[in-house]
Chains A and B, each alone.
Chain A
Amino acid sequence: MVTNLQNSVWLLGAGEGGHGLTPVGLFAYAFLVIAIIFGILTASKNGLNPRYFTNRWTQRTEQLYLFLENMALGIIGPHGKRYMPILFTFWLVIFISNLFALFMPSAPTADLSFNLGMALIAIGYVQYEGMRANGVGKHWTHFAGPKLPIALIPITMMIFVIEIISEAMKNLSLSLRLFGNIDGGHLAAESLNSLGKHIIPVGGMELSIPFGAFLLPIKLLTVVVQALIFTLLFSVYLSLVTHHDDHGDEHATAAAH
């Protein structure tokens, strides 16, 4: 019995050393997240009709879709609608995974490797779209900054290297931000729970107070905000490489930072 319980904890919880999920654990969580997503989408799909949606799930997912579409159109521009599948998928996966983090021992987004995978897809897709929109050469020379005299080639090269590092760091910033918030929330809740461990002696037993539960409201806020931030930044990055208006780029860069 105890062995089975330990196996379950191993499956769903942290791996050795308490950092991140085991591969099987991660995929078990990912499978659960995807199953829930498809459950929600199936319920929503049943309510689709050409007139008006009466199904509550359909109404909610439509609202989410329209919210993300407005965000994409507002940040990326009129062509932002073509990125809806990837934005919608990211938002759903991150949001459902973050919800898991509230009630389960761990969550996919509490795993740095999972978040890095999402970030690599996001930034890779941004580079792909940049090359498609501007051409391969123009996209990469764009990292070298403005055209300078030949005497200043070292500066151009430095700018290029810095920009490339900056692009690479976007992966880290996206993944570490999400990981830090979700895993940090877990750690904070665990720490608070440990403060309340065995502090009420009742009939020879010592009851605990789950102080970590008091963090639930702020963690709930984090669930939504982190999903929003990831998709928002992804939209901004897409806007930077697909916008042809340099003036607008400056604003978008400022917003991204």
Chain B
Amino acid sequence: MSAQTQESKGMPYPVMAVIGALLMFGGMYLSTDPPSALSFQADLAAQGIPLDLGKTIATIGVFLILFPAINLFFLKPLEEAISERTNTLEEAFTDAESLREEMRTMRSDYERKLIESEENARTQIQSQIKEAQDLRTQMVAEANAKVDEMTRRAREDMESERAKVMGDLRLHVANLAFQATEKILSENVDDARNRKLVDDFITQAEVGTK
């Protein structure tokens, strides 16, 4: 960086400073005590051209000292500061860029994971729904079976009750018939033959009612 601005390829700074000082004092001397070779200056001054080559030479000397002085005193530190600042900024930009890249990678990872999670959730929900449907079907089937069983038992109970009631009714009707017959015939018909007659009568009566 500083190599670009330093006039190191030219004259070294100390040499420039020495030559500058010599020119400065030499020019001052020439200006205060101009030799006869510079008498044309008076003619020029008379024509309105105030030229003093002594001052010109002294000015050259001053600048030969001034260039390296300003360069070393201010320009080099300024360039170094600007260069450091530029490097810092470049590093910051590089860091920011890498962070952005990292963020981009993380974001794509998150998006991928999110998609996977959604897929998993969807699959799980589907399986749960299917399981629930199976369970419902199973429960409905079990309930239906229970209902059928209960219905069957109820029918059986009803059937047995009906048979029992029919037996009782038959007995009661037979008794009523006996009692009626006894009253009508005024004799005991409680023998086996009579009973068979009553049963046949009842059976015929049942067939008649059906």
* A pairs with B: yes
User: B-contacting residues of A (Cβ < 8 Å)?
Assistant: 15, 17, 19-21, 23, 26-27, 30, 34, 37-38, 41, 44-45, 48-53, 61-62, 65, 79, 81-82, 84-86, 88-89, 92-93, 111-114, 116-118, 120-121, 128, 132
Task: Say yes or no for B142: interface residue by CB 8 A criterion.
Answer: no
User: What are 5 A-B contacts defined by CB distance under 8 Å?
Assistant: A23-B54, A48-B77, A48-B78, A113-B55, A118-B63
Task: Say yes or no for B48: interface residue by CB 8 A criterion.
Answer: yes
In the complex, A45 Cα to B82 Cα: how many Å?
12
Q: How many A-B residue pairs have CB under 8 A?
A: 124
- B55 contacts which of A45, A81, A84, A111 (Cβ < 8 Å)? A111
Using an 8 Å CB-CB cutoff, how does the interface string of B32-60 with A read, 1 for contact, 0 for none?
A: 10000000000001001111111111111
In the complex, A48 Cα to B78 Cα: how many Å?
7
Known: A20-B51, A61-B74, A61-B78. 15 other contacts (CB 8 A): A19-B48, A23-B32, A37-B70, A45-B73, A50-B84, A51-B85, A51-B88, A79-B4, A85-B7, A86-B67, A89-B70, A89-B71, A113-B53, A113-B59, A117-B62
Minimal Cβ-Cβ distance residue in B for A119: B56
Q: Is the interface of B mostly helix, strand, loop or mixed?
A: helix
Interface residues on B, range: 35 or more
> Shortest CB–CB separation between residue A199 and chain B, in angstroms?
29
User: A-contacting residues of B (Cβ < 8 Å)?
Assistant: 4-7, 9-10, 28, 31-32, 45, 48-60, 62-64, 66-68, 70-71, 73-75, 77-78, 81-82, 84-85, 88
In the complex, A45 Cα to B80 Cα: how many Å?
12
